[in-house]
């Protein structure tokens, strides 16, 4: 089990606690070793005149310390704990990024819609996979690979135009930042639903799309 505090799902972001100690290296290795997720190191934060800046050098970086550091990041990603350890030993403060379209896809929605959907899913007694909450107020629901292809049609079948909802499926060629990666001074990525042995088997996008689309429709 990953070393994070148990998360209480609720309607406010403030209810999500911070992760405990452990180094980024240890956590990246555990993602690869225990969850069999591919991981790769991204940019990191550097103190410049007392201000935390992204290692990319862009003072206006939209995701400081939380994006790929090289264009060939997809080939760098690894599911090997040994290789992950070696990469983070070279840059211990690098962010932890997870490519989608491999062991999982992710459905991204606004934080307000995400919490509404979580409450609805709990009432429906749906089995969830891990869910992250980012400092830019997005929630990512981990689902089986293939969601990026299926989600637009699933949304249409529910009576919505895919472009009318703030709901995006991330698949091959995309990535998500994993806890406890920090977005500059805005804070760290947190687990809204943490990885546990119980959610090792991910749900299919079709199982979650109805409450997610409903919540996004309410949140417009």
Q: Are 67 and 43 in contact (CB under 8 A)?
A: yes
Strand segments (E) across the chain: 40-41, 45-48, 51-54, 96-99, 105-110, 131-133, 138-143, 167-170, 175-177, 190-193
Sheet harboring 167-170: ordered strands across? Answer: 167-170, 105-110, 138-143, 131-133, 190-193
Classified as helix, coil or strand, 170 is strand
Q: pTM of the full predicted structure?
A: 0.89
CA distance 173 to 216: 24
Q: What is the pLDDT along the chain (220 residues), one digit of tens a residue?
A: 443 333 433 333 333 233 445 799 999 999 999 999 999 999 999 988 888 899 999 989 999 999 999 999 999 999 999 999 999 999 999 999 999 999 999 999 999 999 999 999 999 999 899 999 999 999 999 999 999 999 999 999 999 998 999 999 999 999 999 999 999 999 999 999 999 999 999 999 999 999 999 999 987 7
């Amino acid at each position: 089990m990953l070393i994070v505090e148990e998360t209480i799902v609720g309607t406010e972001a403030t209810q999500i606690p911070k992760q405990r100690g452990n180094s980024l290296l240890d956590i990246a290795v555990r993602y690869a070793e225990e969850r069999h997720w591919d991981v790769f190191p991204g940019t990191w934060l550097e103190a410049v005149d007392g201000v935390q800046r992204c290692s990319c050098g862009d003072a206006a970086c939209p995701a400081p310390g939380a994006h790929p550091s090289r264009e060939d990041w997809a080939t760098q990603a690894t599911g090997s704990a040994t290789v992950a350890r070696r990469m983070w030993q070279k840059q211990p403060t690098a962010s932890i990024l997870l490519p989608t379209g491999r062991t999982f896809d992710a459905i991204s929605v606004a934080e307000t819609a995400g919490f509404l959907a979580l409450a609805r899913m709990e009432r429906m007694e749906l089995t969830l996979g891990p869910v992250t909450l980012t400092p830019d107020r997005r929630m990512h629901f981990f689902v089986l690979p293939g969601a990026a292809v299926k989600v637009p049609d699933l949304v249409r079948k529910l009576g919505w135009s895919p472009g009318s909802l703030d709901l995006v499926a991330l698949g091959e060629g995309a990535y998500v930042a994993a806890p406890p990666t920090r977005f500059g001074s805005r804070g760290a990525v947190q687990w809204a639903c943490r990885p546990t042995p119980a959610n090792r088997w991910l749900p299919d996008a079709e199982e979650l799309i109805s409450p997610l689309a409903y919540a996004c429709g309410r949140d417009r």
